[in-house]
Amino acid sequence: MSSPGDAAEPAPPPPDPQVVRREPPPSERPPRPVSYPRGPESSPRTGGFVKRNSDPAPAAALRPRTQVKPFTKESLERLERKTVQLVREYGFQPRRKLSVEDGSRLPAKFEPFPAKLYGRPLEEIDNFIYDETFCVVSKRFRKNYIHRFTATNSFFFFSPFSSVRKACIYLSTNQYFDYLVMATILLNCVFLAMAETIEEAEYIFLAIYTAEMIIKSIAKGFILNKYTYLRNPWNWLDFVVITSGYATIGMEVGNLAGLRTFRVLRALKTISILPVLFTCTMQRVLTLTVVLFIKITVSSRCDSFQNVTIKVHPDRGNPYDTTITGCIERIAFENVITEAHIKHQKIPKLGRDSVRNMKHLHTITFDNCEIKSIDPVAFRNVPNLKTIEILNGNLTYVSAGVFLLAPKLETLSLSHNKLRQIEDGTFSGVSNLKRLSCESNNLGIWRPQWFTNSTNLQIINFQFNKIKILPRRAFFELRKLEAIYFNYNELEVIQPEAFKGITHLKYLGLRYNRLKTIDPRSFPNVIMIDSLTIAANYLNAVSTKLWISVKTKNVNLDGNPWKCLCLDQVQLQLHEMNATVQTSDGCVSGDVPVCSFPAVHSTTCNETVDDDLTNTYFAELRKVNTPLDKYCARLD
C-alpha cells in the first residue's frame, strides 16, 4: 500500500507488436517434470545414469501390444467368406506384397510371445495376405520365427484341426526336431566320406529322411497350394535325394557311387535350419555346389580300362564279347552279368573301383593281362563275387585288404605271376575263402600272418615257388585244411610244430624239395594223411618216430637217395599200417637205382644224413640210359 505523498508510478508502455517475445533466462524457467529420481547420481544434466526401478513391472506392461489368436473353425469360416467376398468384388483374388514373409522374424509388436502358443496354429498376422492360411510361431536360438501353412486339407484328408496334422505341425516347427535332422545330415556326411559304404547305415538315414519328409508334407501339404512342402526350393533337394535313395534299393544302378555321393548336398539344408546364417552364406552356396558336383564327378570317375575286350556271360542268353573303357560296372552292359573273362589285354594296374557295383557277378578272370599291381579298393560292391583269378601277369606284391570287399570270395588264384612279397593280413578276414592258389611265383617265405581269421580255407597251393622253411605253427589257424601243395619248392627245414592243430589231410605234397630229414616234432599231434608224397628230396632215412604221429594210406617215396636198410624199415612200418607205397609215372624202370648202401657196412638203419651216399646215388642216377622225367629226382 503506497503513502499519500508518494508519486504515482507511470504505467508501462503498451507492447510493440513488432518486438519478438524472448524466452526467460534459464534461472527464471520453471522446473520441467521428469520421470527419474532427482539427484546427481541419476540426473542427465550432471552426466549420471538413470536408475531403473527394481520393482517388477505390472502385468499389463508385459503384454504384447498386439495379441495373437488361435486358429479355429470360426477363423477358417471367416477366411472362406473373405475369399468369396474378394472374388465377388474384384473378380479375382488380389495379391499384395507381404509385410511378414514366411520364415522371417516375428514382428516386435507381438512380443513377448506366449510360451503356450509355440507350435500351435494361429490366425494370420499379416493383413496383406488374402490366401487361406494360418501361422505358427517357433523359437530358435531365443528368437521367434513365423511359419505359414495352407488352411486347406493336406493330402485332401488332413484338415488344420486334425490331431495328426497338429502333431506334425508341432514337430516340424520344433527347434529340437530341426537339430535332430541337422545332426543326422552331418552324421550321414561322415558315413559318405568313408571308403566303403555301410548299407545298413544308409537304410537308417533314408528312413529318417523319409520320416522327416512325411511329417513336413502332412503339416504343410504336398504341392498344390501355396506354402506347401514342394513350394519351398530347399525341399526340392530333399525330395530328389530321398527318391534317388529309394531308386537304388533292389536295383543295380551303374554309377551308384556318384548317386550316393549326391546325398552330401543335404548339408545345404542346414542353412534353412539356421536362418541367421542364410544371408552370409548365400553368396557362397553356388561355389560350394559347384565344388561338390566336381567332387562327385571325380570320385565316381574310373579309368582302369581303355578299350579292353571282355567276354561276359549274362544271366540269360549266350556269352558275348564287348569292349570297355572305364570300369567293369553294371552300366557298361546291356544284361545282368554273372561271369567276366579278360584275356591277352594290356592292363598294367587294377586301379580303384576297377570292378564295382556288380551285384550278380560271381566269377572274374584276368589272364595274360600284364597286371603289375592291385589297388586296395579295386573290387567294391561285389557282394556275390566268389571267384577271382589273376593269372600269367607281372604281379610282384599284394597289399592287405585287397579282397576284403568281396565278402563271399571262395576261390582266389594269383598263379603264374612274379610275386615276391605278400603283406601280412592279405588273406585275413576273408571268412569264406576255401581255395587259394599262388602257384608258380617267386615267394621265398611262408608266413602264418597272411591268414588271420581265414578259418575256412580247405586247399592251399604254393607249388613252384622258392619257399625254404615251413615255420612253427604254419597252419595252426587253418584247422579245416584238406590239401596242402608245397611241391617243387626249396624246402630245407620243417620246423617243430609246423603242422600243429591239423588232424586230417586228404593230401600233403612235399615233392621235389631239398629235405634231408623230417623232424617227427613237426607233427606234434596224430594226423591222418590220405595221400603223402615226399618223393624227389634228399632223404637218406626217416625216423621211426615219424610214423607214430603220421598215419597214411598212400605214400610216394621214390627219387630219394635212400639207404637200403632204412628204406626197408620204412616200407615195413608202412606195411604194418596197411599203407600203399606208390611210384611216380615215368620215374621207375629196370635200370633206375632205388637205394644205396653206405661206405661203412651196418646191419641196422643209421638214421643220420650221409652226403657221400647222396652224391653216389645221384651220380649213378645220371648214368641211367632210360630217359627220366626232370622232376623224378632233385639232381641239381
Q: How many CB atoms lie within 10 A of CB 632?
A: 20
**Identity of residue 588:** V
What is the β-pairing status of strands 337-343 and 305-314?
Answer: antiparallel
Q: Where are the domains of the chain?
A: 73-275, 303-467, 485-636
Check residue 456 and give left, alpha or beta (phi > 0: left; psi -120 to 50: alpha): alpha
Taking residues 97-103, report their average pLDDT. 67
pLDDT digit string, tens, across residues 491-535: 999 999 999 999 999 999 999 999 999 999 999 999 999 999 999
pLDDT digit string, tens, across residues 415-468: 999 999 999 999 988 889 999 999 999 999 999 999 988 889 999 999 999 999
Assign domain 303-467 to its CATH architecture: Alpha-Beta Horseshoe (3.80)
Spatial distance between the Cα atoms of 201 and 253, rounded to a whole number of angstroms: 19
Peptide bond into 15 cis (omega under 30): no
Identical fold between 303-467 and 485-636: yes
pLDDT digit string, tens, across residues 226-256: 888 888 777 787 788 788 777 766 544 444 4
Q: In CATH, what number does 73-275 get?
A: 1.20.120.350
Q: Helices H, strands E: what count in the chain?
A: 12, 25
| Cell of residue 570, nine digits | 620204412
What is the value of pTM for the model shown? Answer: 0.60
Spatial distance between the Cα atoms of 15 and 28, rounded to a whole number of angstroms: 21
Residues ≥6 apart with Cβ < 8 Å to 247: 253, 259
CA distances from 40 to 29, 31, 47, 59, 251 (A): 20, 16, 8, 31, 83
Q: How many CB atoms lie within 10 A of CB 458?
A: 15
CA distances from 336 to 199, 302, 358, 410, 500 (A): 21, 20, 8, 21, 46
Assign domain 485-636 to its CATH architecture: Alpha-Beta Horseshoe (3.80)
Pair 562, 588: CB distance under 8 Å: no
Spatial distance between the Cα atoms of 212 and 191, rounded to a whole number of angstroms: 19
CA distances from 187 to 184, 201, 255 (A): 5, 10, 23
Q: What is the pLDDT of residue 197?
A: 58
Looking at per-residue pLDDT, the higher value among 187 and 447 belongs to: 447
Closest CA to 459 of 486, 436, 441: 436
